[in-house]
Chains A and B, each alone.
Chain A
Amino acid sequence: MLIRRAPRFRSSEITPERLYLDRRAFMAGAGALLLGAGTTEAQSATPPAQPLKAARNDPFSVKEPPTKFESATTYNNFYEFGVNKEDPARLAGTLKPRPWTVKVDGLVAKPKTFDVDELLRAFPLEERVYSLRCVEAWSMIIPWIGFPLGALLKRVEPTGQAKYVAFTTLMDPEQFPAQKKGFFNLGGLDWPYTEGLRLDEAMHPLTLLTVGMYGQVLPNQNGAPIRVVIPWKYGFKSAKSIVRISLTADQPKTAWNTAASSEYGFYSNVNPEVSHPRWSQATERRIGEFRRRNTLMFNGYGDQVASLYAGMDLKKFY
């Protein structure tokens, strides 16, 4: 079948009105990267930024200044590239975000495999500035670009039995070097990475299928070409580089819960009252700030999402 690729943006829209990024700092960083990496690693270098524009959805945006773009793209947890925060930025050149398809299946009336560009055309993109709280007690403010996951789910028509949504990240050791079985495979994650939500959480208007950030196409190290962002949950719930979204009747297995269930629950809502067994979640360090801040219940999204958990013991369902 011939897929017509109509130009998605007018040329006047291509230059972002506002650059979040200090261009000079970025160029200096890129230069240092090239000098350090040498020519042999040129293929691993992050591909050049591609602009992506979307109007900001103000009611769905926090009013705080975004984290520096450089921090948001060099301080990442993306275990498919390695366990260190600097690994994804260094190694993500192996990921090929095009062509890419996302299979939406399971308990739905109209299962379908979407090309990611088809999704970009089918759903209007918007920018939302969300707070991202990592389970490791640090946080960032990130302007994401995407569309509500609920819009896609409605399109495939979940059946009455569907109660949960399972996400699967790409499994390909050629593109994700850390998926290769190591000599010592001591207690790593089971690949592919899996995550999941209750259907009502997935349908919540805050849950964003994300294809860009900072006015650009999503960089590889941030989960290109398509990831989910659930701002009231710890960051690891927001699965990256998604290839499959499946509706299920039973609670799906999730990667971190399988690896260490006492540390990472299925819900993993941001909750200052429920400690991680090894550290308190009462405070967090906002990247770029010196003093710790108090962590807010549901990462500050309590007004919108607390009702989803009415009557639930959140110490038990952590």
Chain B
Amino acid sequence: MIVLSRRGRIALKVGVWIVALAPLAMLGWRAWNDDLTANPISFITNTLGDWTFRLLLASLALTPLRIETGMAWQMPLRRLLGLFAFSYAAMHFSVWIVLDHFFNWSQMGADIVKRPYITVGMLALTSLLPLAATSTTGMIRRLGARTWKRLHRLVYFTAVCAALHFLWLAKVGRTDQYVYAAIVVLVLGVRLWDAVRRAVRRRREGALRPASSTSSSSV
């Protein structure tokens, strides 16, 4: 099993920062070179949306990796990736408000109510707000680890909304939306399968307990 030193952990986090900021650097570079396609606003919106989803999936993939391999070195990256996902979601949303609709509140309001893909997109973003707000170590302590953990399971709902957002906005002929949706099913499915497996084991152990003299510690 890989155990990282303090230095290793820092290097890993620096790596995440670099990867997560690279798309912004790319957008900046392309903007500088006047290379944001014929429809720059649409290109920026889509790029930010793509990276929101990728970072969200990356943060959700760390636990399945631990479940399947037992490796735990990646777990400290979860919060960082989650916060980057939130940052990209916020930028994606801001571009929609400012560049795309230029504060046309009535049209945006109508779209949120009438267009299912926008409705679930708004739900995805909103569900990330309490998670971002409680992301500090202080908040974990204040809420208590159990409550905090329970609250942060809201991100499963975010992932489902994000998948629907993409499935419903993608036009006929596109296929990448199915890939993203399949990864959501995978990262949530592994968790569900693991939870079921543990529940079965617990029940079996509960049934066996009177017969066995020593209680085995389950982790």
Residues of A at the B interface (CB closer than 8 Å) are: 68, 70-72, 74-75, 79, 83, 85-86, 136, 138, 184, 186-189, 256, 259-260, 263, 275, 278-280, 282-283, 285, 287-288, 290-292
Contact = CB atoms under 8 A, between A and B. Distances in A.
Nearest to A178: B173
A291 B175 contact: no
Contacts of A263: 172
Contacts of A72: 38
Interface of B: 37-39, 41-42, 99-102, 104, 107, 110-111, 114-117, 168-169, 171-175, 178
A279 B116 CA distance: 9
A85 B172 contact: no
Contact of A187 (B99, B100, B102, B172): B172
A280 B172 contact: no
B37 A75 contact: yes
Contacts of B171: 83, 136
Q: Which 8 A-B pairs have the closest CB atoms?
A: A75-B38, A71-B38, A83-B173, A188-B173, A259-B172, A287-B38, A83-B174, A260-B172
Contact of A282 (B99, B107, B117, B168): B107
Nearest to A140: B38
Contacts of B107: 280, 282-283
Contacts, number: 65
Given A188-B172, A188-B173, A280 B104 contact: no
B39 A279 contact: no
Contacts of B104: 283, 292
A275 B116 CA distance: 13
A5 to B, nearest CB: 36
A291 B102 contact: yes
A278 B168 contact: yes
A79 B173 contact: yes
Contacts of B168: 278
Nearest to B111: A280
Nearest to A275: B114
B102 A278 contact: no
Contacts of A287: 38-39
B161 to A, nearest CB: 16
Contacts of A74: 37-38
